[in-house]
Amino acid sequence: MKKIKKTFFPTLFAVLISVTLIPNTSLSDNLYNGFNVSKSLIPQEEIIKGGPPRDGIPAILYPKFEEGKKVQWLRENDLIAGIDFSGTQKAYPFKILVWHEAVNDEIGGIPILVSYCPLCGSTIVFRRDFGEKTLTFGISGLLYQSNVLFYDHQTESLWSQLEMKAVTGEIIGTKLIVFPSVIATWKEWKTRYPKTLVLSKDTGFIRNYSMDPYSGYSQSPSILFPVKYQSRRFHPKEKVLVIISGSKVKAYPLSELDKLKSPIEDEVGGNNVIITFNKERNFVEARDRDGKHLEYFISYWFAWFTFRPDTEVFRK
């Protein structure tokens, strides 16, 4: 394990700054964008500003949807995060997620947060209900280990996406529950689920959803913000499937899965898992032997490794 240096993509950084809505000077000048981090589960000195201020990257609070069969603006190879639950299917295009990073939604009566950190390539859907309380989430403008820190509007606690819990604030230590989702091309998803709904571009914000502000970032070995550890076992931006089973987690680099014939059977935390992977279709999912979706998500290798340098890694 080795510390790595901070590197920058000037064009990307300029784009991130430009998406700020209405800068708040008092918050922008504050070291932590106005959040109280006096009690924190992560080192305060490792909480840094990502560029835009609090809500400079605006989360979607009231998502609108279109019928998938009527959608014309998605290309067949565009990636989406998909959810199939309780007879309803929803697709969240990365073209939209990359500009907002958080969609507060619900499916089958369950409040969910569709989260995406472009810096870490991490796409995770969480539940937003905590007992009798339902939270809504925004983007704090802060980062920890290059990963987005969300905040909830009700308590202003900060939440780490890859730590999967609240790391500061009133409900510090509260854990996030992963909700099953898949990553797929639009063609693959609409073929499987022709009645799917699609997150609309009518978000209430003016964004050029045909432009990718992170163009080239996923291929580059460089990282925009510093992280604590790195591993040379895989390319920093290698995508890994992370499967959670109880207290155990295991990382499956997609390049390793590609060496084997799908479906691939393995074991995590004493539970059998069956992974379906198709490189051409950018499709990957994990189920148990009964066909039930497991808790899992996709992340860049560098990001998952810096959070879990002791992670178990699947190799052919």
Determine the distance from the C-alpha atom of residue 30 to the mean position of all C-alpha atoms in its chain, rounded to a whole number: 26
Beta-bridge mates of residue 198: 66, 91
What integer pLDDT is reported at residue 248 of this predicted model? 87
Enumerate residue ranges in the chain where pLDDT < 50: 1-11, 13-15, 17-29
pTM, to two decimals: 0.89
Q: What is the pLDDT of residues 181-198, one digit of tens each?
A: 999 999 999 999 999 999
Cis peptide upstream of residue 226 (ω within 30 degrees of 0): no
Q: Which two tokens stand for residue 146?
A: 């290059």
Where exactly are the structural domains of the chain?
Answer: 10-21+45-199, 239-313
CA distance 74 to 94: 10
Q: What is the pLDDT of residue 171?
A: 95
Q: Of 303, 252, 259, nearest to 273 (Cα)?
A: 252
Q: What is the DSSP string of 190-259?
A: HHH-TT-EEE-S-SSS---TT--TTTTTTT-S--SS--S---SSS-TT-EEEEEEETTEEEEEEHHHHTT
Q: What distance in Å separates the CA atoms of residue 190 and residue 202, rounded to the nearest whole number? A: 20
